Amino acid sequence: MNVEGYIAGILPRNDGLIKIWKMYEAGRVTEDVFRDVLDKSIEDIISIQVENGFTYIHDPQIDWHDYFRIFTELDGIKAGPLTRYFENNTFYRKPIFEEFPKYREGLIADKTHIRYIPRDVKPILSLPGPYTFLRLSVFENGVDPVKALSTLMYNALKEAFSIGYSKVILHEPSIAYEDDPDKDLLVSLYSELKDFQSNIRVHTYFGDVEKKSDILNELDVEGYSIDLQYTSVESVGCSDKLVIFGVIDAQNTLIEDIEYIYSQVSGYRERCKGDIAISNNTDLDFLPFTVAIDKINLLGNLLKRLKG
């Protein structure tokens, strides 16, 4: 039984980066000074992951404001109003599809940092899942949402893998958040991405997925995550897909009890005898930087325990 461990999603900015970012936006420091601090912050977060021995090293994505903003730079999509991101005190720019989007090759390469990740490790990246992307967007002028999103995400995934990412995490909080997610829509969207099935993983959070396992197991993906703040380990059924446990709570500064988590995850392994992964439940940028680092280190220690 194989055990993987990695962090997922957008990482928080340290105090120094936050300060220099504000100074840069105010015109008080040059772009070169800003870039030096940003680059050092990216390198530091990568080093922490490598030191923890994670299976995959996540692109920090600390210069991403949300999952959708980069796509609003494409022709056909504009950044709409600031909108609350689910039931959180965070906001995103609602994407507005004014016409069928024209994908620009180089978008992912320009907005990511694979060049900082050592070549002897496996890099991983987070992108918006097509279902959540669709649910949180507006489509105008007769744009077909399914065709637009499936084509857009196909091209983004194709580029991500072409530049060297080993896996891509597709963030799908809408699946967990909605009481009755549209199974037909989900299956349709992911069937268009089946060329990448063995290397894409769905990340769910902000809700219980106990009664949605049939949907998750039908998607053309390698595996899916479960937010243990909402779904108990005991209620998780065995699956032919990789099950990823969101054991680190990114919305609570309280440090987890590693012994309790170890016991819970070990119980699932004994019951189901399948491969698993451990990660954080949602983006760590909900947390102060120092707390996030403590939790990353805890995840690394848990991975070592589970591997024996």
pLDDT tens sequence across 3-17: 999 999 999 999 999
Instruction: Determine the pLDDT at residue 274.
Output: 87
How much of the chain exceeds pLDDT 90, in percent? 99
Instruction: Determine the pLDDT at residue 184.
Output: 98
pLDDT digits (tens, 9 = 90+) for 180-214: 999 999 999 999 999 999 999 999 999 999 999 99
pLDDT digits (tens, 9 = 90+) for 124-147: 999 999 999 999 999 999 999 999
Determine whether domain 3-307 maps to CATH 3.20.20.210: yes
Distance between CA 211 and CA 231 in Å, rounded? 10
Distance between CA 223 and CA 102 in Å, rounded? 29
Three state DSSP letters for the chain? CCEEECCCCCCCCCHHHHHHHHHHHCCCCCHHHHHHHHHHHHHHHHHHHHHCCCCCEECCCCCCCCCCHHHHHCEEEEEEEEEECCCCCCEEEEEEEEEEEECCCCHHHHHCCHHHCCCCCCEEEEEECHHHHHHCCEECCCCCHHHHHHHHHHHHHHHHHHCCCCEEEEECHHHHHCCCCCHHHHHHHHHCCHHHHHHEEEECCCCCCHHHHHHHHHCCCCEEEEECCCCCHHHCCCCCCEEEEEEECCCCCCCCCHHHHHHHHHHHHHHHCCCEEEEECCCHHHCCHHHHHHHHHHHHHHHHHHHC
Give residue limits of the domains in the chain.
3-307
pLDDT digits (tens, 9 = 90+) for 40-78: 999 999 999 999 999 999 999 999 999 999 999 999 999
